[in-house]
Structure formats: C-alpha cells, structure tokens
A and B are shown apart, each in its own frame.
Chain A
C-alpha cells in the first residue's frame, strides 16, 4: 500500500531543528526524574539500612507504585499538574526511579562486609566519615547497576507521555502514526535507543572511575 521508501532522509533534514527540540525535551524529562529519584532514594535507603523495620514497608509502597501503568498515572495526574506539562511526565518517572533505586541502595549498603565496617570503626572513623569514605564507595557497583536500569527505562518510558501531549521524542510516534508515515517513527525509535545507550555507557564509565580498585583486582 505504501510505495514510499522506509526512510525519507530529506524529511529528517528539513525537520532536524524541531527534532532537536524534542530530543532536548526528552533528555530533561527522562534524566531529571532519575537524578531526583536518586537524591530521594539515598536517604531513604540509608534509613532502611539503619532501621530495618522501615525497609519492608517502603519497598512495599514502592512496589505498588511500580506496578501502576505509566499512562494511567499520567492521566490521574493531569488534574493536578495539567495536560501536556513536563511535570505530568516527570512525577511518575521519579517514583519509578525510586522504586528501582531504593532496593539498590539498601542492597549495596548491606553488601559491605562486616570486617570492612569494623576495620573502619577500629581506625577511628566517625559514622558519617565511615559512610562517605567506606560504605558508599563499596555500594557504588550495586547502586550504579540500579541507576542504569532506572535511566534506560526512564528514557524509554518518557515517550508514552506523548499520549497526554508531552513526550519528547514520543511525539514523533504520534506524528508518524497519524500521517501513516514511517520516517518520524523510525527516527524516534533510533534516537530513544541511542540516547539510552549513551546514558548507559556514561554510567558504566562513571562506575569505572568511581571504583578504581575493581579494575586493579581485574574483575570486570
């Protein structure tokens, strides 16, 4: 039915400026929630390790939030945040990031071997210094693994926001669908996946920089 080529390169050239705007919007809507999610997950995770009874209920609530469909949450939020605002998209994504990151922070911190913690105490580290200089660095690989999942899923999920009027590159899917036109859809998919790959790669690099000892030991 379509005699069109799969990709019309001239369309990409003509629309590159607006694609860039969508890309920037996408980056903001995907990454702000992950950063905010991490900033909230760190103290909550610490509290969960310090007071064990707190952990199970927190994870329970997060699991419930995680099981809510993103489209449904976008819609429920519209009366509060408005249609087609960035906030509508970013609030649920922040909660999804927290749902992935809180268990990662707790698992990371509980993975610190007891003898390491005791050595730090014996060397006279104050609890704060022990946390910053010993426990958090050791937790980095597990936290970053969670961060990678959160970042990649967030980048991919933003596009669903296009159904409520604001979805960064997701707009290209709506546009392509409405005009029965492949090019914007393919451009959108490629850019979302590329964006996720770049974010993932940067986080892997961050992990290598933050944990130089794991390279020295030769475990990669």
Chain B
C-alpha cells in the first residue's frame, strides 16, 4: 500500500482534477451511466416483483409468513458470492448476471415495507372505506396505498441505496460502473483512484436519498404526513 504523503483531500484533487478521468469509456460520465444502468434496471425489476406481491399479501393477508421468511433469507444472500457464482455459470456476455444478485438485494425491503405498510393501516379506516361503498380494489388504491405510502417509499429508498452501493461489486467480475475505479485502484495500488470512486458512489447514494425525500414530499398526502410527524 502506498503510504502516500498526500492526505485524502490531495488524493481527491488528484483524481477529480485529472482531465483524463472525465472523458472516454473509462471517464466518470461513462462509468456513471453504466452504474445507473445496472442500478436502475435492477431496481425496476425488483419493483415489478415486490410491489404487486407486497400489495397483494398486505391486502389479502395471504402468504404473509412465506413472504417474510423468504425476504429474510434473501437478505442473508451474500451479493459478492452470488455474483461470482452466476458469472462463472453464465459468463459475462451481458449484464444479466449482475442484475440477479442486485434484484435479490432489492426485493426484501420493498416487499416487507409494502406489506407492513398496508398491514399497519388502521382497521377502522379500512372498514370505513368499505362502509362508504368502495370495492376491494378501490379501498386498496384510494385508502390503503396512500396511507401506507411513507413506508412503501422507505422500502424503495432502502432498496435503491443498497443497490447503488452494492453495484460497485460488479466491477470485480470485469463489468463497468463506478466500482471500476475502486477495484482497479485497489489492484494497482492507485489510492487516489480508489478513494475517488468511493466518493463518487457515496455521492450518488446521497443524491438518491435526497431524491426520495423529494418524492415523498410531493406524493404523500398532507393528511398522512401530518399524522406521521405526530406519531
């Protein structure tokens, strides 16, 4: 390890100040796009699986135990191990191998939060909605989902952050994304590069965090969010 005289700040200036790092296929914009592609696709797939399933389980109460158990099991799956195994089995022709572990990572928080969100809705509220003559689907769409939305968004936020952070591992099996800087930097003992990559991923995760805070502010009905602060 290069025990450089330079401290972290100098490393950052080295990395971000180098114009070579801002263009070409190994430039920051290109790597960022790759990273967003892995993360975005994985999150989208996880949402397509976990949201309908969570809504169905939360609304009907069926299969709850199974969902919670399998979500916990999926949480335990080591992403790095899963990734290298799938890449060895399938090869790295496409980005499919990297999507599988990331989807497995993102499904549990979305599924569990959606289910818990719906289950946590005051039963009186649900009864009142049926009493007003709403049918099952309408109760779900007009009452349960709006009230459960903060928790559902929290699940999506946790999933998104974990996916963005973990997508760095893809670089280890030779794929792109911001993890390239981290893995290549480690391999060549180029510390500024490694730290620069780490900072980029952390920034991206923070932007995602802020993005979700904004979405929450816009989409959660004022009545619900007020209830939230009172607890």
Determine whether B141 belongs to the interface, using a CB cutoff of 8 Å to chain A.
no
| B205/A69 in contact, CB under 8 A | yes
| A69/B78 in contact, CB under 8 A | no
Q: Could you say which interface size class chain B belongs to? A: 35 or more
Please report which residues of chain B, range 88-142, place their CB below 8 angstroms from some CB of chain A when the two chains form the complex: 88-89
Majority-rule SS of B interface residues = helix
Q: Could you say which interface size class chain A belongs to? A: 35 or more
| A170/B78 in contact, CB under 8 A | yes
Partner of A182, one of B78, B79, B88: B88
Determine whether A211 belongs to the interface, using a CB cutoff of 8 Å to chain B.
no
Which residues on the B side are within 8 Å of A83 (C-beta)?
Answer: 1
Determine whether B182 belongs to the interface, using a CB cutoff of 8 Å to chain A.
yes
Q: How far apart are the CA atoms of A70 and B84 in the complex, in Å?
A: 18
| A185/B84 in contact, CB under 8 A | yes
Q: How far apart are the CA atoms of A35 and B101 in the complex, in Å?
A: 28
Say yes or no: A163-B80 contact (C-beta < 8 A), given A68-B165, A76-B198: yes
Q: How far apart are the CA atoms of A164 and B185 in the complex, in Å?
A: 11
Determine whether B183 belongs to the interface, using a CB cutoff of 8 Å to chain A.
yes
Which residues on the B side are within 8 Å of A67 (C-beta)?
Answer: 161, 165, 202, 205-206, 208-209
Please give the distance in Å from A159's CB to the nearest CB on chain B: 4
Determine whether A166 belongs to the interface, using a CB cutoff of 8 Å to chain B.
no
| B165/A177 in contact, CB under 8 A | no
Which residues on the B side are within 8 Å of A200 (C-beta)?
Answer: 72, 76
Quick one: closest B residue to A164, CB to CB? B186
Which residues on the B side are within 8 Å of A176 (C-beta)?
Answer: 84-85, 88
Determine whether A61 belongs to the interface, using a CB cutoff of 8 Å to chain B.
no
Determine whether B81 belongs to the interface, using a CB cutoff of 8 Å to chain A.
yes
Majority-rule SS of A interface residues = helix
Determine whether B169 belongs to the interface, using a CB cutoff of 8 Å to chain A.
yes
Determine whether B62 belongs to the interface, using a CB cutoff of 8 Å to chain A.
no
Please give the distance in Å from B166's CB to the nearest CB on chain A: 7
Q: Scan B36-77; emit 1 where CB is below 8 A from any A CB, else 0.
A: 000000000000000000000000000000000000110111
Which residues on the B side are within 8 Å of A185 (C-beta)?
Answer: 81, 84-85, 88
Determine whether A193 belongs to the interface, using a CB cutoff of 8 Å to chain B.
yes
Which residues on the B side are within 8 Å of A72 (C-beta)?
Answer: 165, 168, 182, 197-199, 201-202
Determine whether B30 belongs to the interface, using a CB cutoff of 8 Å to chain A.
no
| B194/A163 in contact, CB under 8 A | no
Which residues on the B side are within 8 Å of A66 (C-beta)?
Answer: 161
Q: How far apart are the CA atoms of A170 and B172 in the complex, in Å?
A: 13
Please report which residues of chain A, range 39-89, place their CB below 8 angstroms from some CB of chain B when the two chains form the complex: 63-64, 66-73, 75-76, 78-79, 83
Which residues on the B side are within 8 Å of A37 (C-beta)?
Answer: none
Q: Scan B177-207; emit 1 where CB is below 8 A from any A CB, else 0.
A: 0010011001000000011011101100110
Q: Which 7 A-B pairs have the closest CB atoms?
A: A69-B165, A72-B198, A196-B76, A67-B205, A177-B84, A159-B78, A189-B81
> 28 A-B pairs, CB-CB below 8 angstroms?
A64-B206, A64-B209, A68-B205, A69-B166, A69-B168, A69-B198, A72-B168, A72-B198, A76-B8, A79-B3, A110-B231, A156-B75, A156-B76, A159-B78, A159-B81, A162-B80, A163-B169, A164-B186, A170-B78, A180-B88, A185-B88, A189-B81, A189-B82, A189-B85, A192-B77, A192-B81, A193-B77, A193-B78
Interface residues of A (CB under 8 A from B): 63-64, 66-73, 75-76, 78-79, 83, 110, 148-149, 152-153, 155-156, 159-160, 162-164, 169-170, 172-173, 176-177, 180, 182, 185-186, 188-189, 192-193, 195-197, 200
